[in-house]
Structure 1
């Protein structure tokens, strides 16, 4: 059995998401009744779109990462827990004993919940099952039990489907991606915080009238409010802060200008790549709906995808860029924090994108919510570092020589793994049972309820014709 699982994991690692996803989409399309030719073209188009998204993301994250590292260097920050980045976290997760089993576990959980009509999401984002393995590997490190780790991974797979279903309508309408949901725990964990903080901000006189979405900014500032110009301006400011003391004025100016143009390009190109993705996804979504309607009446089926399809929105990018220097300042001033951010500063867009539908694209509110999320994350990262370091050593991951521990923003800063691990550490199997009860309660409790932001400004929860339906609604 281990040989089969090892071979399956090797296939996933070798092919990668951009090759594996088109194959999965093609197979699912044929199973759902799409013509093979149409399913093949849809899968290939989706694969090409993700290659495009990854290329643009790589360009943006490389530029932003250089800026962030320069700012960190300028501050002279020293901490003993090093942020090694999400690729390292994924390698640790997949390299753990739980990682060997996580793909069949994730698929089985999805199939069982679909068959039981407890989810509407068909999660094709197999590569990101590493998030479930990450939690499982830390539970195993905490408890010494592989069984506990596998149960925790299964519960995280179920929880991700709950979040995907619960946020689907808001995501579809705001981002203009009908038929899609996002079963991505690193992105979904901000949703409860965003709901609470948005509720509080709605009740602050004066502040509740400030609506700084990108459309409003563009109307007020004209050409200077257009997404590409905003990207240029924010990039120039970040570049100036990062490279002002290079010593060579020419190099500093060049790097600053390149940062500005790169971020402007990202603001333009990422939405274009998402449009290509939707061109490929629509035939599969239509086949899924036809398949379900012939067997289950009016039940909807969502295709679960990576949250990378969301971060091309101007509100997500703009708020994330503002949060980069905020994150660095927080790492300096928070008492008791031991984490130095390094590799994962550039993935902040993934943390805040799911807040956009809740706050109606209000960049100011997204920055505030993102700041609170990061504050929590620093303390979670400090707390979870010993377990992540232990799991890394068990997976033969090399710990940086200057660090006593490691972490990552994705997933080491997430409060959900922390709560699960606390439950297991304090109560053992009873803690896991309690987590399972909570997950099932959430699935049953939210299945028939509209999410709070779906009713924002009286919008029709079933109207998912595009992003403008919610973004253009007046603020409450």
Structure 2
């Protein structure tokens, strides 16, 4: 685990080139070509991280001022996904979960129940966090590990089922997404799309980015939409013009730069992916294989970025009006973009349908976050994760996997078994 933690601490921008270089060598890519492909992936992820950080750093102060301006006073503070990640990686279960997750992937491949070779090891914290909460409520390491691996198995099933539609929409061959948070909401996106598609009037609303551009001209261009949304968020925060305009430019920059950084990453991935496909077809002529990747590759889609910006103020309004909700959306507001990243193909890239799905997702996350706040707070204290809370305040994470229906159900089942 000391070796593994050292690798993880280097971050995706270092370890992904190493992983892709090794995978390239395994699949008979020439060392020079494998090195270039691996470095291209690393450079792409560096660019993605830089652009995402630009978004987070720009929207963070705006969302903070929005929260203060709305006068929200809720007792469960959204401490952000980074807090959840710290809890997950600090868990005493992590050695068993890492070994179990790798073993589960190998077994599923061996019995031909998955096409995915998941190399997204950085998101093991998603399943580890849920397993840690199960461990917290049961006191049982085996039950905690079982809860984590059950969530991982469900994520694999969804990853396999969604791979083709996502590949077709995003035009990325040979990849899939074993994501314990985003993937769980794909069935909800499918349901929303079906329901709206059968409601007169609503079914005619088509907010596809290309159609918006065609209808509105320059005002429908992604850069214009992003600028308008940035101005709107700045005004909602109560900022003066000299702060609103830089925010608008930064949001527009994200809209333009993020897809380009994703393209750089995909360029490197495709070199190794194509070599892997050729090699594996010789060994298994009737099978197809995908690389499991981080959903950061998906958030550059204009319909995802624009919809996530609309969901920021909408999430604050939901937090105010939902009866029984105690969670205050805060740190993770800018990360909502990840929650809706896998539903877009199943909502036909229609931003109206994605937005409605997003509202339901946020509603679920708020209620589940309120329900499990005591357990999340206690788990943070046990893991010695520093949190900023005062008095009777508890903490949570708006985009964490324990707030999804599946994650919540696993933890609640642990409560029943553990008698808590």
Pick the TM interval, shorter chain: over 0.9
1:173-195 residue CA offsets vs partner (Å, 9 max, x unmatched): 11111111111122112101111
CA positional deviation for 1:320: 0.4
Equivalent position SS for 2:341: helix
> C-alpha deviations, 1:204-223, integer Å up to 9, x for none?
01211211110000000101
Q: Which residue of 1 aligns with 2:14?
A: 19
Query: What's the secondary structure of 1:20's corresponding residue?
Result: helix
Q: 1:414 maps to what in 2?
A: 404
> Any conservation in 2 of the 1:81–1:405 contact (CA below 8 Å)?
yes
Matches of 1:27 and 1:130 in 2, distance apart?
A: 23
Q: What CA deviation, in whole Å up to 9, does each residue of 1:102-160 have, x standing for no partner?
A: 32222111111111111111111111111010111011011111111111222222222
Q: Which residue of structure 2 aligns with residue 459 of structure 1?
A: none
Shift of 1:427: 4.0
Shift of 1:231: 0.4
1:347-404 per-residue CA deviation (whole Å, 9 max, x = no partner) reads: 0000011111001110011111100111111110001111111211110113423153
Deviations 1:213-240 (A, max 9, x none): 1000000010111111110111111111
Q: Does 1:45 align with 2:40?
A: yes
Distance 1:405 1:99 in 2: 24
Distance 1:28 1:157 in 2: 23
Provide the C-alpha distance between the structure 2 equivalents of 1:337 and 1:24, rounded to a whole number of angstroms.
42
TM-score (norm 2): 0.96
Gaps of 5+ in 2: none
Q: Structure 1-normalised TM-score?
A: 0.85
Q: Post-superposition shift, 1:261?
A: 0.6
Find out whether 1:423 has 2:409 as its counterpart. no
- CA drift of 1:243 comes to 2.5
Residues in 2 aligned to 1:208 and 1:186: alpha-carbon distance in whole angstroms:
28
CA distance in 2, matches of 1:304, 1:155: 18
Q: Does 1:159 align with 2:149?
A: no
Among candidates 305, 314, 322, match of residue 334 of structure 1: 322
1:84–1:343 contact (8 Å) kept in structure 2: yes
Residue range with higher mean Cα deviation, 343-352 or 111-120: 111-120
Segments of 5+ residues of structure 1 without an aligned counterpart are: 245-251, 430-476
| Paired residues of 2:137 and 2:418 also in contact (CA < 8 A) | no
Question: Which of the residues 376, 381, 385 maps onto 1:397?
Answer: 385
SS in 2 for 1:186: coil
- Taking only aligned residues, the RMSD between alpha carbons, in angstroms, comes to 1.4
Q: Does residue 383 of structure 2 align to residue 386 of structure 1?
A: no
- Equivalent positions of 1:135-154 (< 5 A) are 135-154=130-149
Q: List per-residue Cα deviations over 1:39-74 (Å, max 9, x = no partner).
A: 111111001000000000000111122211111010
Residue 100 of structure 1: how far off its partner (Å) = 3.6
Give the aligned partner of residue 80 of structure 2: 85
Asked whether 1:303 is paired with 2:298, we answer no
Aligned position for 1:279: 267
Contact kept, 8 Å, 1:6 with 1:100, in 2: the verdict is no
Aligned 8 A contact 2:139 2:418 in 1: no
> Pick from 31, 49, 55: which aligns with 2:50?
55
For the 8 Å contact 1:83–1:344, the answer to whether it is kept is yes
Q: Which residue of 2 aligns with 1:348?
A: 336
Task: Give the total of aligned pairs.
Answer: 417
In structure 1, C-alpha distance between the alignment counterparts of 2:167 and 2:199, rounded to whole Å: 29
Q: Distance in 1 between matches of 2:196 and 2:69?
A: 34
Measured after TM superposition, the shift of residue 98 of structure 1 is: 1.6
2:2 corresponds in structure 1 to: 6
Show CA shifts across 1:259-315 (max 9, x none).
111111111001101111111011111112112211111311111111011111100
Cα distance in 1 for residues equivalent to 2:7 and 2:270: 27
